[in-house]
Structure 1
C-alpha cells in the first residue's frame, strides 16, 4: 500500500485516460443524437468525426498541460482548468467542422453542435469525478496506512482555514484528521464548510469529550488578539494542545509543510500586538551611515544587527569577544543580506587601545552600545568585573564617540538600574549617570569646568531602559523549558516574584525608534505591558507541554538569589515621565549630575576596582547611587554601616 501511496501515474498514462474519457463521451453523445441506430451510424461518418475530435482534444490537453498535475492533489483550480480545456477543445472542433470539414467534404449527416454540447457536460463531469475519486481513494488508503491520526479542530472559519484544511489533507503523512472549525461568529456557527461543521469556541470543553479532540490549530497572527489569547489559555487549562501555523505568505512554495506547524510556546502567549514604528524616519537615520554595535553576539545586540542591516547602512561594524556567535551571525547576514557590508571586530570594550583602533579604522556615525554583563547573581559574586565592563567599558566607548565625532550614542540599559538592589543594576545606573552627565556638559546644560570635548561637534547620548526579553541568553524561559524536558522540578525563587517581559524584536524596534527621536540626555522608558508572575509562567509552560503542574512536574521554591528583588521597577519614585509621539515610549525625567563630580567618583571607583577590595568597591557604588540598597546579598552589611 505504501508503494501505491508514494508513486504517481506517469504523465502519458494520465493523458491517455483523459483522451479515452473525451473520446468515449463524444461517441456516447453521437449515439444519443442518432438514437443508437448503429447501422446508420456506421454508414455515416462517425469514425471521421470521432478521430478528428480526439486529435483536437489531444492537442488542446497537451498544450494546456492538463496531464502534468498530480491527481491526488487536485483542487478547485484544477477542475476549472479541466472545464476550460474541454470548452476550448469543443469550440475549436466546432469551428473546424463548420468552417472547413463540412464545406469541403459536404458532411452534414449529424447535428454536430448538439453532439458537442452533450459531450461537453459528460466529459467534464467524468474528468472531474475521476480526479475527485482518485483523491478520495488516496486520502482513504493513506489514513488507513498511517494508523491512528490526531483529531484536530481549526480555529477560524475563513479562507485561510480552508487552505489549512486542504493542506492537512494533502500533506502526504495523514498525521491530522480535521474534525471541524471553531469560530465565534453566529452567522457561521452550526454551518458546514467542506463537509465539516463550524462549532462555537465556547463549546471547546464539550468538543474535547464528544469528538475526542486532542489539538487545536491556530494561525500565529491570531494570537495577537486578546480574545484569541483567552481562548488559547482556556485550551491550555483543559489540556487541549495548541499548535501554531505560520501565515500563508510564509508557506514554502505556497504549500504548508508540517514542519512549519509547531507546538504553542509561552512566548506566543506573552507577545503583544505588533509595534508600529516610523520606518521612514529610522531609515533616514540609518541608511548610508556607518553603524557600530557592541555586544553584537548577544541576544539584544544580534537583533540590533539584524534590524539595522535591513535599513541598508553603508557599513555595519559588529563588535564582541565571542568569536563563535559572531561567526554564526556573520553567516546569517551574508545569507540574508548578500549585498550588505559588515565588518567583524573581535575585541574587549575595556581595552581602550583596541577600541581606539576600531573607532579610528571605521569612524562610525552611530553607536548602539549593548555590550554588558547582565546576569544578576553572577555580578553579585564578581562586582569588580561588573565595574570593569559596565562602567569603565561604557566610559571608554562614550569618550571615543566624542573624540571621533559620532552623531549618536545609544546605550542599552535595564529596569534593574531603578532603585537597584544588586551590583549589576547599580553598575548600569552609574553608566547611565556618566553618559547623561557627559551629554549635559557637552551641550552646556550643566555648569562645570570647561572640558576639551565641548570643542568638538555635538554627540547625542541616549539611554533606553527596559525589562526582561523573551528567550534571551540566561533568561528564565529557556531554563524552565530545559527543566520540563528533564522531568522537573521547575525551580522558582519565590512564589510572589514578578517580572516584565518583552520580545527581543519589539525591544530592538523601540531602541531604534527611541534612538531616532532622541535629542541627547534622555532615558527612554518602554511600555513593558503587565508584569507576569513567574510561578504562573512556570505553570503555563508545564501545561503547554501537555503535563500537569505539581503532578507530572513539581514546582519548588529555592529562595531569592543574591541581589534579586520581588518586583522590578521602570521608574525611580522621584522620577517623572513625559510622553513622546510613540505610545510605547516615554521619557524619564531624572536629576542632572555634575560631570566633574561624576568623573571624580568614577575615577575613584576604577582605582578601587584595581585593588580587588570588593567591599570598598561596593561601598563607593552606594555613595554614587544612594538609592542602591542590597537585597539577599553579602553587601547588606554596608547598608547597616551607612545607616
Structure 2
C-alpha cells in the first residue's frame, strides 16, 4: 500500500472520529435527543472541529509518523494537537454563535477525540506487534546492549516482516535495567548470563549492539559469546552510524578481525601529509591486497598524482574504477607493467618521475615459491632491484619496500628472496640520495590466498577445515591497520631502516579455525570436522620479526619499531645477485644453494630442526 493512500485513510478516519466525538458530546449533553434549534450549532461545531483538527494534525506531523514504531513521543503530540484544536474550535464556534457554549461540551469532545485518535493509532501498533510475534519461522535473537542502539535494532527486527530474526531477550551490564522490559522484551542480566540465556531461550543469533564499546571490550565480549552455539553478529561502528555510512540493515557477522581486540591505529596526519601530499606517488602491485589498500589510504592524503602499477589488468582496472568513483578530482594513472621488465620500469620512472614509491609487488605464497624458486627470484629480487635502481637513478625521495616476517631466519624461498630484497635496498642507501626503508610485518587477515578466506570457504562447504599443524602460530593484522602503519613508517624513514610493526600477540592457527567455526554458529569437530594436513614445504611453526643482528629500538609511534640499519656491501651483493640471475634456468637445488650463500641464515625447515636437535 502506498504511503499517500495510507495518509488518506488516516485523514478520513480522523474526520469520522471528530464527527463522532462532536455528535456524541451533543447527544449526551441533550440526554439523547438534539433539539432542532441546535442543529445549526452542532453542524457548525462539527465542520469547524474537522477543519481545525486536520490543520493541527498536519502541523504536528502526525500524518508522517510511522505508527508501528509509535511511542510516548507520538502520544504527547496527539495530546497537544487535540488540546489545541479543541480549544480553538470551541472559541471559533462560540464567537460565530455570539455566546459562550457550555464548557462541558468542549471537555466531552476533547476526551472522546483524544481517546479515539490515540486508541486507533496504538491499536494499529499492537496489532502489528502481535502479528510479528506469531512469525515462528524467524530466528530467535539475543541483543547485547539495551541502550538507544539496541532499542533501535530491536524495533527494526520486531516490526520488519522481512527480518530473518526476532528479538526475544536483552542482555545489559547495567543492573538498573535488569528484570525490566524494553519494547516488551525482558532484560535478563549481564554478560555473565549469556550462556544460560542462550540455552534457556534456544537463541539462534547474538547481536552485539554497543557501538561505543572499545575494540578490546568487543573482543572480550566475543570470547564469552563464542562459547555458545549461537551465531554472532555485530552492528556497525558508532562513527559509521552517525555519519550515515552504513545502514542498520547491514548488521554484519562478527569477523576474526573483531577477535584481535586492538584499538584503531593513530597516525601522525601532519607527518604523512608532509611526504605524500601534492607528490607523485607510485605504488607497485597496486592491484593486490596490500597494494590496493595503499592506494585507498594514500588517496586520502591528496597526492598530486597516483600511479597504479601492476601486472594484472583486471585488478588494476578494478582499483582504478573504485578510486575514480570515490576521488573524482584525483589524478590517476593506471600502468600495466611487470617489475621484472627493467626497460619498462625505467620508462615509467623517466615519464612520471615519482617522488615516493611503495613497492608492494611480490610473489608471496610460500608453497608455490618452493616449487618455483626461479620465479620468486625474478619477482622478489630482480623486480625489487629494477624498481629500486630506477628510484635512485631518477631521484625519488623515498622508497618503501613491503617486506615480511618470513624474511627473518628464512626457511622458505619466498622469505629468503624477500630478505635479499631488504639487503639490496639497504646497500643502495649508503650511496643514494633516495631514502630507502623496508617495513616488515606478518600475515594480514583477508589477503588473497590467506588462511582466513580458505577456512571460510571450507566452513560454507560443510568442512572439513584443514590445519597444517596443531601447534602452528602466526602473527596477524588487518589489511587497513597494516597499511596505515606502513605509510606512517615511511614518514619516519631516514634511510636504510627495517621497520617492524607491532603485530600484537601471536595467534595459534588451530584456535583461529575453531573461532571461525564457532562464529559461524557451528561446533568444532561436531558440526565441522578439523583435519591436520602436515606442515607444507618452507613453512615454520612460528615466525620471527627480527634477526639477531638487528636488535630493536622504539620510534615515536608506539606500534612501530626499528631494526638497526645493516651494512651491506653493494658491489658484493650485486655480484651475488648477478650469479643468481645467470642460473635461473638451472635446477632448483642449485638456485637454493646460491640463495643460501647470499642469505647465510637461510635454512630449510629440516635443516633448522636438525640444528636445534644438535644444540639440545
TM-score by structure 1 length?
0.87
Counterpart CA distance in 2 for 1:504 and 1:629 is 29
| Structure 2 gaps, min length 5 | none
Work out whether 1:347 is the aligned partner of 2:348. no
Q: Which residue of 2 aligns with 1:216?
A: 206
Contact 2:281/2:305 (<8 A) preserved:
yes
Q: 2:416 aligns with which of 417, 423, 426?
A: 426
Pick one of 11, 14, 23 that aligns with 1:15: 11
Partner Cα separation in structure 1 for residue 26 and residue 279 of structure 2: 77
Q: Which residue of 2 aligns with 1:232?
A: 222
Among 94, 100, 117, the alignment partner of 1:109 is: 100
The aligned counterpart of 1:451 is none
Q: Residues 485 and 43 (structure 1 numbering): CA distance in 2 closer, same or farther, change over 3 Å?
A: closer
CA–CA separation in structure 1 for the residues paired with 2:353 and 2:210:
42
Q: Can you list the C-alpha shifts for 1:328-379, whole angstroms capped at 9, x where unaligned?
A: 2222222222222211111100101111221222222211110001111111
Distance 1:571 1:537 in 2: 24
Which of 598, 605, 613 lines up with 1:624 in the alignment? 598
Report the equivalent of 1:386.
Answer: 376
Residue aligning to 2:38: 42
Shift of 1:572: 1.4
Q: After TM superposition, give the deviation of residue 235 of structure 1 in Å.
A: 2.4
Q: 1:56 aligns with which of 40, 52, 55?
A: 52
Instruction: State yes or no: 1:565 paired with 2:540.
Output: yes
Q: Within 1, Cα distance between the matches of 2:244 and 2:161?
A: 16
564, 583, 587: which one aligns with 1:589: 564
Deviations 1:424-462 (CA, angstroms, capped at 9, x unpaired): 1111111111111211223xxxxxxxxxxxxxxx32112
Cα offset for 1:272? 2.1
Q: Please say if residues 300 and 504 of structure 1, whose CA atoms lie closer than 8 Å, have aligned partners that are also in contact.
A: yes
Runs of 4+ in 1 over 4 A off after TM superposition: 6-9, 26-37, 62-65, 75-81, 90-97, 114-122, 220-224, 248-259, 635-639
Name the CA distance, whole Å, in 1 between partners of 2:156 and 2:504: 36
| Alignment map for 1:26-105 (pairs within 5 Å) | 26-28=22-24, 38-39=34-35, 42=38, 45-62=41-58, 66-74=62-70, 77-87=73-83, 89-90=85-86, 93=89, 96=92, 102=95, 105=96
| Structure 1 unaligned regions, length at least 5 | 443-457
Give deviations 1:286-339, integer Å, cap 9, x for gaps: 222211111011110011111111222221111111111222222222222222
Provide closer, same or farther for how the CA distance between residues 119 and 296 of structure 1 changes in structure 2, counting only shifts above 3 A. farther
- Using the alignment, how far apart are the partners of 1:368 and 1:430 within structure 2? 17
In the alignment, structure 1 residue 410 sits paired with structure 2 residue 400 = yes
Question: How many Å separate the matches in 2 of 1:411 and 1:253?
Answer: 35
Deviation, 1:222, is: 6.4
Q: 1:582 to 1:83 in 2, by over 3 A?
A: farther
Partners of 1:116 and 1:340 in 2: how far apart? 67
What is residue 171 of structure 2 aligned with on the other side? 182
Counterpart of 2:574? 599
Per the TM alignment, residue 85 of structure 1 is displaced from its structure 2 partner at its CA by 3.8
Partner residue, 2:463: 488
Do the aligned partners of 2:22 and 2:45 also contact (CA within 8 Å) in 1?
no
Q: Cα deviations across residues 96-139 of structure 1 (Å, max 9, x unaligned)?
A: 56xxx72xx56223156x75566555534432332221122123
Separation of aligned partners in 2, 1:254 and 1:384:
50
- CA 1:115 to 1:159, structure 2 compared with 1: closer, same or farther past 3 Å? farther
| Partner Cα distance (1:577, 1:321) in 2 | 36
C-alpha separation between the residues in 2 aligned to 1:585 and 1:15? 65
Q: Tell me if structure 2 keeps the 8 A contact 1:629–1:636.
A: no
* Aligned mates of 2:260, 2:239 — CA distance in 1: 23
Aligned pairs for 1:118-267 within 5 A: 119-120=109-110, 122-144=112-134, 146-198=135-187, 199-219=189-209, 221=211, 224-247=214-237, 250=240, 260-267=250-257
Whether 2:316 is the aligned partner of 1:326: answer yes
SS of 2:232's partner is strand
Structure 1 residue 29, shift from structure 2 partner: 5.4
Distance 1:85 1:620, change over 3 A: same
> Could you say if the C-alpha distance between residues 116 and 529 of structure 1 is closer, same or farther in structure 2, counting changes exceeding 3 Å?
farther
User: Could you tell me whether the CA contact under 8 Å between 2:219 and 2:260 is conserved in 1?
Assistant: no
Q: Which residue of structure 1 aligns with residue 586 of structure 2? A: 612
Mapping 1:262-277, distance limit 5 Å: 262-270=252-260, 272-277=262-267
Structure 1 residue 595: Cα displacement: 2.4
Given that residues 226 and 232 in structure 2 are in contact (C-alpha distance below 8 angstroms), is that contact kept between their aligned partners in structure 1? yes
Does residue 377 of structure 1 match 2:367?
A: yes
1:518/1:80 Cα in 2 relative to 1: closer, same or farther (>3 Å)?
farther
1:348–1:354 Cα contact (<8 Å) kept:
yes
Tell me: CA distance 1:166–1:151, structure 2 relative to 1, closer, same or farther (3 Å): same
Q: Does 1:529 find its partner at 2:504?
A: yes
- Aligned to 1:576, what secondary structure does the other structure show? coil
